[in-house]
Amino acid sequence: MTSWWELPADAVDEAARLLLGWRLTANGVTVRLTEVEAYSGLGADPASHAHRGETPRNAVMFGPAGRLYVYQIYGMHFCANVVCGEDGRAAAVLLRAGAVVEGLETARQRRPAARRDADLAAGPAKMMQVLALDRGANGTALLDGTGPATLAPPDEPVTAIEAGPRVGVTSAHDVPWRFWISGDPTVSAYRRHVPRRRTNRV
């Protein structure tokens, strides 16, 4: 079976499926990935950061595979993506949600507002908070142990997978490239994108 980091960029949706169940460890906490979202590269996906080509911000998306692409939203929260595909063709999988399986007390201290343990990493920014990762992890390796975070495979492949529209994007939001483990309580709630209405000012 082909590993997710060996798949071409145009198979990023399959890479996303294969990442479910993998364990991401950083700074004393391990999260089992339960929800992910795929984004392809240049010209193919208007919701992707790489849609208009390579920039200093998105350069990590162009390879090599197996690295973290970290960006900031709203000027305060960080989100992490796993880079996939062959060098030179951008593709990445957004890590949307996970279940804390090790370092639970540490995760609770980092996310004291979480009402349930299932909420600790139930969102891209929440996951980064419990793992104590920020932009400093951008471009670091996930598979060889040299970076601040490491990815390890599940004991058994995940088979109960559901798919649906992506969340939080203004373009191509109906593309069913969000994947999650069926029935898992850590999966984030889906909210359909609603375009803002423009009002005419007199």
**Does a structural domain hold residue 96?**
yes
**Does a structural domain hold residue 190?**
no
Residues 108-129: what's their mean pLDDT? 96
Task: Render the chain in DSSP notation, one character per residue.
Answer: ---GGGS-GGGHHHHHHHHTT-EEEETTEEEEEEEEEEE--TTT-TTSTTTT---TTTGGGGS-SSBEEEEEETTTEEEEEEE-SSTTS--EEEEEEEEEEE-HHHHHHH-TT-SSGGGTTSSHHHHHHHHT--GGGTT-BSSSS-SSEEEE--SS----EEEE--SS-SSSTTS--EEEETT-TTSPPP----PPPP----
**CATH code assigned at 32:** 3.10.300.10
**Does a structural domain hold residue 197?**
no
Q: Note down the domain range covering 65.
A: 4-181
Give the rounded percent of residues in the chain with a pLDDT score beyond 90.
64
Domain total in the chain: 1
Band of the pLDDT at 46, cuts 50, 70, 90? low
Band of the pLDDT at 55, cuts 50, 70, 90? confident
**Does a structural domain hold residue 187?**
no
Give the rounded percent of residues in the chain with a pLDDT score beyond 70.
83
**The predicted structure's pLDDT at residue 42:** 63
**Does a structural domain hold residue 186?**
no
**Does a structural domain hold residue 31?**
yes
**Does a structural domain hold residue 196?**
no
**Does a structural domain hold residue 191?**
no
